[in-house]
Amino acid sequence: MDKKIARFTTFFLAFLSLSASANDVFSGGYAIPPQTAKAESMGGAAVAGVDDPSAVYVNPGALTRVDGNQILGGLTYVNTISSITNSGATSRNIHDDDFLPNLFANYHIPNSKFTIGVGSYTPFGLATSYKPEAFTRYAALRSELKTIFVTPTLAWEPAPYLSVGGGVSFVHASGLLSRAIFFGPFGDGKLRITDTDNAYGFKLGALVKPSA
């Protein structure tokens, strides 16, 4: 696992080193802390108030409080409008649309205090594209970082006022970076680097609900 992380890190460091001659660095990305419309409307403050299967992402301990067995899906649309201006010339990011699906589900194990859940979601990423003839080509042509998290989760309610839960996240990431290279009278060349990697993480949560 350490070798994979080292390889993925080297991939990005190599690209940054090759881009060191550029005067500017062009980038753009997105981060989506809330994964559902409800969490978004609450400003992301849903840790103690989640009552649907997205508890897998927000607070695994709250899975036992979900009413029944449910499946919840959603789609997030990200529109990125960005441009770079230098000496009167403007280069616009032509990749401005991203559609990010998510899916959550929970199941209460009969005759027990346990609930299982699973979630698939994309909390962050990157996608930018600049025209090959734009001046930004020497810093970036296409930049892309895709991530997907799949998190199976188990929650337990040891007492009416307490629930605890945790899950393991399988994370798949793929990256692509490309730029033009100036070869003087020979015109431009193109550098393209791409790689993928897998990683693991974990999520723990608890919900305390004092009873009257």
Which pTM was predicted? 0.76
Nearest CA to 127 out of 51, 8, 14, 28 is that of 28
> pLDDT tens across 152-203, in order?
999 999 998 999 999 999 999 999 999 999 998 888 999 999 999 999 999 9
H helix or E strand, kind and range, residue 91:
strand 89-92
Tokens 């009969």 -> residue:
110
The answer to whether the CB of 74 falls within 8 A of the CB of 37 is yes
CATH class of 2-208: mainly beta
> pLDDT tens across 107-139, in order?
999 999 999 999 999 988 888 899 999 999 999
**Which amino acid, 175?**
G
Which residues are bridge partners to 164 per DSSP? Answer: 156, 206
Domain boundaries defined on the chain: 2-208
